Amino acid sequence: MAFETILYEKREGVAFLTLNRPQALNARNRQMRREMVAALQDARADEGVRVLILTGAGDRAFSVGRDLKEAAQESGSLVEGRRARHQENDTLVLATLDKPTIAAIHGYALGGGCELALACDIRVASEDAQLGLPEVSRGMIPGSGGTQRLPRLVGMGRALELILTGEPVDAREAYRIGLVNRVVPRSELLPTAEKIARTIASRAPVALRYAKEAVVKGVDLPLEEGLRLEGDLSWLLRTTEDLREGARAFVEKRPPNWKGR
């Protein structure tokens, strides 16, 4: 598939997905959402992809969310609109990707752009980043997971303040409240994200998948059920060739040669 609103490439186990409408501050129109879904589905199906990095093109924004100019021009029934959003739910596809994801955030990450970052596993922000969910100032509420993912990340009180005021926070405040994992100078943003990705990509693929599943699914379970999930996944890993390879490599003092099975 030829992409017009995103850039998508794969290098040495890492997929790079770049929102590429810098003239519109990487606002997500319908075409971009469709193209993102296609790229994410490709990353899911490609066993050579171990990690995905999501970022935005240009100097000013990661993404300012939904393209409101397009939204204002759209017509059709409520049912048709809901069906289209479901078919183009890039945020949900990103959040359910079974491989680790990293958001490299610079400039504005607002509305649906912030929600894309929330859907990633790890968030690295440059010092100029501004993150927020301003939907209430436009007569809306966050509709791509923001009301659910933000409280789980920063706590209910902080999430409600951000959502109800609609005011953004800068990178340092985002780091203080746990909204982002790291803050770095702009020149170090992508190198830092890629360094994290390369470290992750060097680990056992099946273990990465099960570790993410244990954390993401377990956080919403009672502790006893979460521990049962962890135990089941740990037991399954004992049957993998990668576990045996990891043990051999440790004994032989060499890098492991993962097979992903």
Whether residues 92 and 195 share a domain: the answer is: yes
Catalytic residue status for 135 = yes
Catalytic residue status for 115 = yes
Q: What is the pLDDT of residue 110?
A: 97
Q: 237: closest CA among 201, 256, 209, 203?
A: 209
Whether residues 222 and 107 share a domain: the answer is: no
Question: What is the C-alpha separation between 35 and 17, in angstroms, rounded?
Answer: 10
In a domain? residue 185: yes
SS3 27: coil
| The one catalytic residue among 35, 88, 135, 194 | 135
Q: Tell me how many domains the chain contains.
A: 2
Written as tens digits, the pLDDT of the chain (261 aa) is 789 999 999 999 999 999 999 999 999 999 999 999 999 999 999 999 999 999 999 999 999 998 777 776 765 544 445 544 555 699 999 999 999 999 999 999 999 999 999 999 999 999 999 999 999 998 999 999 999 999 999 999 999 999 999 999 999 999 999 999 999 999 999 999 999 999 999 999 999 999 999 999 999 999 999 999 999 999 999 999 988 988 888 898 888 888 888
| The one catalytic residue among 115, 173, 194, 230 | 115
Which CATH number goes with the domain that contains 152? Answer: 3.90.226.10
Collect all residues with Cβ–Cβ distance below 8 Å to 28 and sequence separation of at least 6. 19, 36, 63, 65, 66, 67, 90, 112, 113, 116
Which CATH number goes with the domain that contains 211? Answer: 1.10.12
Whether residues 211 and 197 share a domain: the answer is: no
0.85 surpassed by pTM:
yes
In a domain? residue 260: no
Q: Which domain holds residue 217?
A: 205-252
Whether residues 20 and 65 share a domain: the answer is: yes
Q: What is the pLDDT of residue 79?
A: 46
Whether residues 183 and 232 share a domain: the answer is: no
